[in-house]
């Protein structure tokens, strides 16, 4: 993966940094694996705005992704690596030996023509999905289940990866991308390797219009509002706005909002970095 810095031929391209897309092999999605996407524009069933700063954006079609990797023991060949407008990671089209096609999240280093498989007794190679009980300790993993059969819910975005630290009984210790260390059931599936498109964090949009293409409407800074509109509004001149907080008064930047009595707290060995 690489990025390209554009020449400043227009003001919008002066600072723009775009993805090189050198890992992408096709620009046509598999028709049998796409579904229509409906946009709400932030409005509810009455047509009233319930979510601010949402609306517009380019029309998209959803790519149906196989997060469960439940086709155990059936080898698949990577047919293509594709761009997905609905996520930061790239996706891979798999052709299974029995003729079925599925999309999965592409791991970094996955190549067209490579064979991957999921199951208990497969080799711990990039792209293979295995239970945590079968993965060697210290392995870089991604697309991790939290409950067996649920499908991947953790470490799915561009460049994300976790590390399998230890195993004890029916639990495995996993260090997550946030820095949190937690216990996960050892029979949960995970995919070997880090998620593709790790250069995503280096991209620079270059202009406000690109946010509109992505469906983001303009956002007013809270310190520029009046006190009736936001707790950080008001003041004479350029007032700083006081302690950072949300529109509803919940403090931000360091304030912990996780429920103290949450049942899954016992599985968290170390909280994420402050």
The string of pLDDT tens digits covering residues 34-57 is 999 999 999 999 999 999 999 999
pLDDT exceeds 90 at position 262 = yes
For residues 136-146, average pLDDT: 98
pLDDT at 107: 97
**For residue 179, is it left (φ>0), alpha (ψ between -120 and 50) or beta?**
left
- Residue ranges of the chain that CATH labels 4.10.950.10: 225-274
**pTM given for the model:** 0.93
pLDDT at 241: 84
pLDDT at 127: 97
pLDDT at 274: 65
Lowest mean pLDDT among 172-186, 216-230, 231-245: 231-245
The Cα–Cα gap between 175 and 196 comes to 19
- Residue ranges of the chain that CATH labels 2.40.50.140: 3-200
183 band by pLDDT with thresholds 50, 70 and 90: very high
pLDDT exceeds 80 at position 168 = yes
106 band by pLDDT with thresholds 50, 70 and 90: very high
239 band by pLDDT with thresholds 50, 70 and 90: confident
pLDDT at 194: 98
pLDDT at 1: 63
For residues 207-213, average pLDDT: 96
Long-range contacts of 68-72 (CB under 8 A, 24+ apart): 68/149, 68/150, 68/151, 68/152, 68/189, 69/104, 69/118, 69/129, 69/143, 69/152, 69/189, 69/191, 70/118, 70/149, 71/96, 71/100, 71/102, 71/118, 72/118, 72/119, 72/120
238 band by pLDDT with thresholds 50, 70 and 90: confident
Percent of the chain exceeding pLDDT 70 equals 99
Average pLDDT in the chain:
96
pLDDT exceeds 70 at position 20 = yes
pLDDT exceeds 80 at position 131 = yes
215 band by pLDDT with thresholds 50, 70 and 90: very high
For residues 183-193, average pLDDT: 98
CATH superfamily of 3-200: Nucleic acid-binding proteins (2.40.50.140)
Q: Domain spanning 225-274 has what CATH number? A: 4.10.950.10
């Amino acid at each position: 993966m690489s990025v390209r810095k554009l020449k400043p031929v227009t003001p919008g391209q002066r600072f723009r940094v775009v993805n090189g897309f050198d890992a992408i092999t096709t620009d046509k999605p598999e028709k049998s694996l796409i579904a229509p996407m409906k946009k709400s524009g932030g409005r509810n069933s009455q047509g009233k705005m319930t979510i601010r700063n949402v609306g517009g954006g380019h029309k998209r079609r959803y790519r149906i992704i196989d997060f469960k990797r439940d086709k155990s023991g059936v080898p698949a060949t990577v047919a293509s690596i594709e761009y997905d407008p609905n996520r930061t990671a790239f996706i891979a089209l798999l052709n299974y030996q029995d003729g079925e096609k599925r999309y999965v999240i592409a791991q970094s280093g996955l190549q067209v023509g490579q064979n991957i498989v999921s199951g208990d007794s497969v080799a711990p190679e990039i792209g293979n999905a295995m239970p945590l009980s079968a993965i060697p300790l210290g392995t870089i993993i991604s697309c991790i289940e939290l409950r067996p059969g649920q499908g991947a819910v953790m470490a799915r975005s561009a460049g994300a990866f976790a590390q399998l630290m230890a195993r004890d009984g029916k639990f495995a210790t996993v260090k997550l991308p946030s820095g949190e260390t937690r216990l996960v059931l050892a029979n949960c599936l995970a995919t070997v390797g880090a998620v593709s498109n790790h250069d995503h964090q280096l991209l620079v949009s270059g202009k406000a219009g690109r946010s509109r293409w992505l469906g983001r409407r303009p956002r007013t800074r809270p310190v520029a509002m009046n006190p009736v509109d936001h707790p950080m509004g008001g003041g004479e001149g350029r007032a700083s706005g006081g302690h950072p907080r949300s529109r509803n008064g919940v403090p931000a930047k360091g304030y912990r909002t996780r429920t103290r009595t949450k049942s899954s707290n016992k599985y968290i060995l170390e909280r994420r970095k402050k």
